[in-house]
Amino acid sequence: MKNLFIALFILLPGLTIAQGPRMGGEKMEALKIAFLTQKLDLSAEEAKIFWPIYNDFTREQSALRKDRMQKMISFRKTKEIDDLTDAEVQTLIYNDFDFKQQDLNIEKKYYSRLKSSSLSIKIVGKFYRAQEAFKTELLKQYRGGGGGPERH
């Protein structure tokens, strides 16, 4: 199984470059799952607990982000910010605050689920650290400073 993840690390960065700076959501998620699998090094029992929670977490975050993108797209099609009233601009800002709060609420909800599961707090901590490492590696790759997420 680890060979599959190694293959993903080798193949997906090349696909990212071929597609330009934007990678499809499914390919990005596959790369992230491979990265997390390697970083967390879960036992079979831990994986049975972790992955369903992670899948729920990503589904909920994706739905929130999709809703936000739809709202942003509809705004972009209507007016430039200079053409909006002060009240409309304020509403946009508050909507962004609301999105950030909803995203934080999802993070807290799933932190609580992970923490209350039988996973150790160290695994939970590794998960959050691995998520940040994945984002950092993607930024490095996007900026041309690396060949994809690291495989330490």
Distance CA 103, CA 95 (A): 12
pTM: 0.71
Helices (H), 20-147: 25-40, 44-78, 86-116, 121-142
Q: Are 144 and 63 in contact (CB under 8 A)?
A: no
Q: In the chain, what percentage of residues exceed pLDDT 70? A: 74
User: In the block, which residue shows the tokens 């002060």?
Assistant: 86
CB 148 within 8 A of CB 16: yes
Which of 57-71, 100-114, 132-146 is predicted least confidently? Answer: 132-146
- Summarised one tens digit per residue, pLDDT across range 18-57 is 444 455 778 888 999 999 999 999 999 999 999 999 999 9
Longest Cα pair distance anywhere in the chain, in angstroms? 56
Lowest-confidence pick of 71-75, 95-99, 131-135: 71-75
Measured N-to-C along each axis, helices 121-142 and 86-116 cross at an angle, to the nearest 10 degrees, of 140
pLDDT tens digits, residue range 123-151?
Answer: 999 999 999 999 999 888 888 865 555 54
Written as six digits, the tokens of 75 are: 């705004």
